[in-house]
Structure 1
Amino acid sequence: MIAAEARAVAIGASAGAIQALLQILPVLPADYPLPVLVVVHLPPGRRSELVTLFAAKCKLRVAEGEDKDPIAPGTVTFAPPDYHMLVEAGGTVSLSRDEAVFFSRPSIDVLFESAADAYGPGLVGVVLTGANEDGARGLVAVAEAGGVTIVQDPATAYARAMPEAALAKCRQAQVLSIKDIAAALLEVGQP
């Protein structure tokens, strides 16, 4: 299901994100061999509580992305509010205040496109629940780079618009329930 050469996971979500991520991230073991990069649409001007919430629930290390931080295996890195989070070719985080994409900064498209450039066929891109089209264009970039593309089954999403838009643009994406997404990501961590 997921390529053996997987080197990183990128996940994007919006409306309903916390509930969906709580069914995926806590399943991953402390020795998970891949970095997990996550964009959740957050309102600007407020501190994010995502790291606090998920650090209490996850076996993996959980952090908020900081400019020039190395991207590490076994770590979930959340994009900070009001910044796009990108992956640089050298395996570090880059933060940007460029224009919002689909009214969102951080943007899923921005993360996926930069991660596809950095990891190529070693990237697993996952689009979860959400209420706009952010992530659809980025998932196409993941597919074009040879990466694995996964979309939450819209019938199981809190908000269907984001997974439906992703599937409309990236027809080859695997459509999975949240439980099956967690199992697929867990599988990549097996020897």
Structure 2
Amino acid sequence: MAPFEGAALVGGASGAEFAVPFPVVALIASAGGINALARVLAPLPAELPAAVLVSLHQSPGSPGRLAEILARRTRMAVRIAANGDGLRPGQVLVTAPGWHLLVTSQSRIGLIKADDLPPSRPSADLLLATLAVTCGPRALAVVLTGMGHDGQAGVRAVAHCGGTVIAQDQATSQFFSMPSAAIDTEQVSQVLALDDIATAIIAHTMAATGNR
């Protein structure tokens, strides 16, 4: 797949059939992810014409300070996602510990309780699959450092619906299992160093909204 091939479909017939009318970026991570997420979000402009969803594997009993940490590192508005929240450009919604985050056909957030059994918590696969079917070519999945293979099925879903996938490279990943699993699907458009990902996100969202 050529870089940003999915974004080129926005505005065409294949984009009109999807529920969410603007770009949505999903940042998924596990081990080593707090630093990676902060470094991706830091350069993004407050007026980014896309909604951003953050999913980091956490124990359900963790204190849930991720939104607070990330808010100090970005100009975008950051808060914990609540059930029924509407998606809007320029906003970062962070998945709370103990919940899986879904994107619904009403362009809203759906939260379902995570239990003590697999899948990973929160599940990147569940997030990306629902992102794919609601956003289509407007979806951008970014797979960052982490252990395991959560997100691999979701990456296939995003690509199937015309979206775009970026993975962090091995040299800058603290743990490469999750990015590697995404790359193994052969559906990743770009494999980038951590500090190059924000530029790619901006380019994708500008192209997706016709602002090149």
Fold equivalence (TM over 0.5): yes
Mapped partners of 2:106, 2:117: distance in 1: 25
Aligned to 2:100: 84
Higher Rg: 2
Is 2:149 aligned against 1:145?
no
* Amino acid corresponding to residue 108 of structure 1 in structure 2: A
Q: How many aligned positions are there?
A: 191
Mapped partners of 1:148, 1:138: distance in 2: 12
Is 2:29 aligned against 1:13?
yes
Alpha-carbon contact 2:165-2:187 (below 8 Å) kept: no
Alpha-carbon contact 2:98-2:114 (below 8 Å) kept: no
| Runs of 4+ more than 4 Å apart | 98-103
Alpha-carbon contact 1:102-1:133 (below 8 Å) kept: no
**Cα offset, 1:23, TM superposition:** 1.2
Alignment map for 1:60-71 (pairs within 5 Å): 60-71=76-87
Alignment map for 1:116-131 (pairs within 5 Å): 116-131=132-147
Residues 179 and 30 (structure 1), Cα distance of their counterparts in 2 relative to 1, 3 Å cut: same
Alpha-carbon contact 2:23-2:205 (below 8 Å) kept: no
Alpha-carbon contact 1:102-1:134 (below 8 Å) kept: no
Mapped partners of 2:56, 2:177: distance in 1: 15
The one-character-per-residue Cα deviations of 1:111-133 (angstroms, maximum 9, x if unpaired) are 00000010011101111100111
Residues 171 and 101 (structure 1), Cα distance of their counterparts in 2 relative to 1, 3 Å cut: farther
The one-character-per-residue Cα deviations of 1:138-160 (angstroms, maximum 9, x if unpaired) are 11110011101111112321001
Aligned to 1:170: 186
Mapped partners of 1:121, 1:52: distance in 2: 30
Is there any run of 5+ residues in structure 2 with no aligned partner, and where? 11-21
2:66 to 44, 50, 60: 50
Alpha-carbon contact 1:66-1:95 (below 8 Å) kept: yes
Report which stretch shifted further, 44-53 or 139-148: 44-53
Aligned to 1:158: 174
**Cα offset, 1:11, TM superposition:** 1.2
TM-score w.r.t. the length of structure 1 is 0.93
Is there any run of 5+ residues in structure 1 with no aligned partner, and where? none
TM-score w.r.t. the length of structure 2 is 0.84
Q: Root-mean-square deviation (CA), in Å?
A: 1.7
Alpha-carbon contact 1:102-1:132 (below 8 Å) kept: no
The percent identity for this pair of structures is 38
